Amino acid sequence: MSTKGTKIKIIINLLLVTTILAIIYYLINQSFADIFKELLSTSVQVLLAMFFFGTLYQVVEGRSIKEIAKPFSDSFSTSDGFWTSCYIAFYRIVSFGTGTLISEIYFYNKKGMKFSQGAGVTALHMIMYKLAVITYAVIGLIVQFSLFYEKAPNMIWFIIAGIILTALIILFLVTISVSLNLQVFFVKISNRLFKSDRLRGWVDTCNTQIYSLRETVQTIIKDRTALVRIYCWNLLKLLCWYVMPYLFLVENHPTLDFLLTFSFISFAVVLSGVLPTPAGIGSFEFVYLLLFRPVVGTVDAVSSLLLYRFGSFILPFIYGFFYVIAERRNILRQEINEVKAEKKRAKGKI
């Protein structure tokens, strides 16, 4: 590449880093301000528990991702899975939810996978996560059914609806990932609608990608024991998140029932995943406060929510921030070295 082209890349990367830092500054001053204030008023023991379980979630998530990615990259490690999760968390916040899936597929591509393979890993990653979410929500509903039936019977139907909608999302993801009939249907409809060579070429490209995605997912799900392991890792990682509200609240509410808080957080997660709000922003908070406020009061419910949001949302974002900054720094250093090398070669020719 010419020196001019490399310089343009350097400028683009610097602009990207500046934009990211500007967004982070905005988020810290707006969305994150209350959370950081809450951290300052929290006991050291609770903070340590939050950091421990928040980090442990990412480690277990890394192991889960490794199990999914293993058929396509033998060198993909638990550490790579850990940074995948943090990388996704970073771009989820910076892009306000719009770049979540793209960032995950792109990360896998950087690790040597094809885009279709990355899409397959991403699809199965989402499917197994939602299966684990449903599992805990169903268990929670069974355990707390009598309480809801007595105190808030209408809530039962909302939870069941959330479970059913999540199950339908899983069914849809599985169908588009493995169904040959759906692919054939796509080709037939496309052939009827698009007649120009340019559009037919685009359809052929999409069809190839869908076929590759189907092959990728089928490659992963052939190993049934691997699916069981991935499912168990997802159950374990959610356990790390679901114990946190109890740890935050038990200090001021010693008689608080652990199973109650565990069930409530499982309901909040399953319902926030299907409520129609942009990128899930606001839906989780609404359900969380709706469930916890009658039990522990508004002040403690909001306090525990802010701490939970830090452990599950901001902490992986911080890890991802350091990864992205280190990555950008290495890219910029490499591009600057290319410019220097090009200048040396130009001087040698003179």
| pLDDT at site 97 | 75
Give CA–CA dist 125/69, Å, rounded: 9
| pLDDT at site 199 | 65
What does the H/E/C string look like for 142-179? Answer: HHCHHHHHHHCHHHHHHHHHHHHHHHHHHHHHHHHHHC
| pLDDT at site 278 | 45
CA nearest to 160, candidates 271, 15, 269, 40: 271
| pLDDT at site 280 | 42
Average pLDDT of adjacent 10-residue blocks, the chain of 350 residues: 61 70 68 78 91 96 93 90 94 82 89 84 89 95 88 85 90 76 70 67 64 71 83 96 95 92 94 63 82 91 92 92 87 74 66
| pLDDT at site 261 | 94
Angle between helical axes of 3-29 and 315-349 (0-180°, round to 10): 160
CA nearest to 245, candidates 166, 310, 320, 162: 310
| pLDDT at site 348 | 63
Give CA–CA dist 173/176, Å, rounded: 5
How many CB atoms lie under 10 A from the CB of residue 56?
15
Give CA–CA dist 113/2, Å, rounded: 28
Query: Which tokens sit at 257?
Result: 């029932």
| pLDDT at site 350 | 56
| pLDDT at site 349 | 61
| pLDDT at site 173 | 77
Give CA–CA dist 264/140, Å, rounded: 8
CA nearest to 162, candidates 43, 323, 271: 271
- CA distances, 35 to each of 263, 266, 282 (Å): 24, 22, 15
Q: Are the beta carbons of 148 and 264 closer than 8 angstroms?
A: no
Give CA–CA dist 158/25, Å, rounded: 37
CA nearest to 270, candidates 145, 262, 278: 262
| pLDDT at site 78 | 95
| pLDDT at site 61 | 97
- CA distances, 270 to each of 74, 243, 311 (Å): 33, 16, 18
